[in-house]
Every structure is written in structure tokens, then in C-alpha cells.
Amino acid sequence: MSLQICDLHARIVERAILRGISLEIRPGETHAIMGPNGSGKSTLSKVLAGHPDYEVTQGSVVLDGVSLLEREPDERARMGLFLAFQYPCEIPGVSIANFLRAATQARLPEGESLSVTDFYQKLYHEMDALGMQRTFSSRPLNSGFSGGEKKRAEILQMAMLQPRYAVLDETDSGLDIDALKVVAGGVNRLRGPEAGLLIITHYQRLLDYISPDFVHVMVAGRIVQSGGPELALELEKRGYGFLEERYGSSEVSPLAGAGTPG
């Protein structure tokens, strides 16, 4: 049981962005991917989720023994993959509650219909735990939300859908320290032996609140270094500059063309 990414290459139009990513996330583990802007971190999350703009040119992704890449984005999600978006879309006129009802209904076996009472009980329970006003659930999803509200709405969705593997794409960006704590609290509630997490971040500060088991550094479409939580602290101190100098271009990288063991 794991989310296994093996030698993944992907491009958008003609530009190669992922150049051989290998990483395995087991349930119960929390991985962090750090890296400078443009290193391909967000691309990795979108390729995993099946965004149509990206083309996988090489490699494989296997979720609990089932190959992911030839499946539609909604199938991948129902298999247990969740992506907390860096820039969540506004869905005009669709309330959070109705949106989540549709998502929950989609996970039920064919012909079974959702118990509305149970659904709202769970929704309010999760909202209470995230310190959200219940009236928030009737607001149109992400419409006119502040940055913090959008990120909280992502965490609420994650809590409701209980994914096997969650990828959080720069969930900390644009958050003040209070919002960051709430979001981190929500993420920590999901952690447990059943869930594997991949946290993508530019800064170390989110990792003060969600301590990862593994930290990976991504530069120019590759994982160039992996380690424990201490790696994040080192990066915070030294910056990404030295790594970019060393691995910044695919031509000079010693790892070019080869996957890096996760």
C-alpha cells in the first residue's frame, strides 16, 4: 500500500517540467517537498491529479497497487487522491455544502443515496473542529473568499472526503500566522496510520506546525536531496541558491536522465 511515483517525466506544450521524479508515500507518512519557484513542485501535484494541460512522457504512478495515469481525474480522486489547490477555483452559485454533497454522493456505490442528516452532522462536526462558522457552508464555493478562507475551505473538503493520499500544494502561501495554525491543525487531524501526506511548500514555516517524516528538495524538475526534518531547517538557513547553482540546469546535473531514489 502506497502512492508510488516512479521516474515521472511530464511536460506542458513542448516544455519538459518534470524530469524524472521518484517518490513513495506510504499511509501514515508525511512527506514534504521543498524547492525554489519554478522547480516543478506544483506541476507534480497537477500531474498526479490528472490535469489535462500536462502530458506524461515517461514513468508511472501507482496508487495502492493500481496504475493511476490512464485514469480520469475524477476516478483518481475517488481512488483516494486529494489535491489541495494552491489557487482554488471559484465555483459561482454553488454552495460549499452542495458541492461537498455532490462529492460525497459520487463516492457512494451506484444506486445508494446520501443521508442528508448524516452529511450535515459530519459537515458541522468538521467545521466546528476547524473553527468555521456554520453559515460558511452556504456560501458559494470560494466566491469572494479571502486567501485564508479559500485554504480553510480546502482543508474542510479534505476532512470531509478523507483521502488515502493528500497532496497539499503551497497551502501555506498567503496565510497569516493564525490562519496557518488553523490550516496546520486541520492537516494534523487527518494524519494517522491510514493517510499519506505530501506537502508542497516554498517556505519552512508550515513545517513548524506539521512536522514531516521526510523532506525532499526539488530543483529543475528533479528531487536532488532527501532527508529528515533537519533538511528543511538547513534550507531555511542557507536558502535554495546553493542547490540551484549545483542542480539548476539539466545539462550539468549529475542526476540528469536518472530517477532519484525517494
Q: Check binding of 91 to another protein (CB under 8 A).
A: yes
Contact 236, 32 (CB under 8 A): no
Chain CA centroid to CA 259, Å: 21
Check residue 105 for interaction with another protein (CB under 8 A).
yes
Q: Does 85 bind another protein (CB under 8 A)?
A: yes
CA 199 from chain center: how many Å?
Answer: 6
Q: How many residues lie near another protein (CB under 8 A)?
A: 30
Q: Which of residues 23-52 bind another protein (CB under 8 A)?
A: 49-52
- Taking the C-alpha atoms of residue 122 and residue 116, their distance in angstroms, rounded to an integer, is 10
Q: What is the residue-wise DSSP string for 157-218? A: HHHHH--SEEEEESTTTT--HHHHHHHHHHHHHH-BTTBEEEEEESSSGGGGTS--SEEEEE
137 makes contact with another protein (CB under 8 A): no
| 191 counts as binding another protein under rule CB under 8 A | no
The two most distant CA atoms of the chain are separated, in Å, by 59
Q: Which of 58, 59, 52 has its CA nearest to residue 13? A: 52
Candidate list 38, 66, 74, 146; residue touching another protein; CB under 8 A: 74
Instruction: Pick from 93, 109, 144, 261 the residue near another protein by CB under 8 A.
Output: 93
Chosen residue from 3, 23, 68, 77 binding another protein by CB under 8 A: 77
Q: Which is nearer to another protein, 26 or 71 (CB)?
A: 71
Q: Is 165 in the site for another protein (CB under 8 A)?
A: no
State the residues that interact with another protein by CB under 8 A.
49-52, 72-74, 76-78, 82-83, 85, 88-94, 98-99, 102-103, 105-107, 140, 157, 161
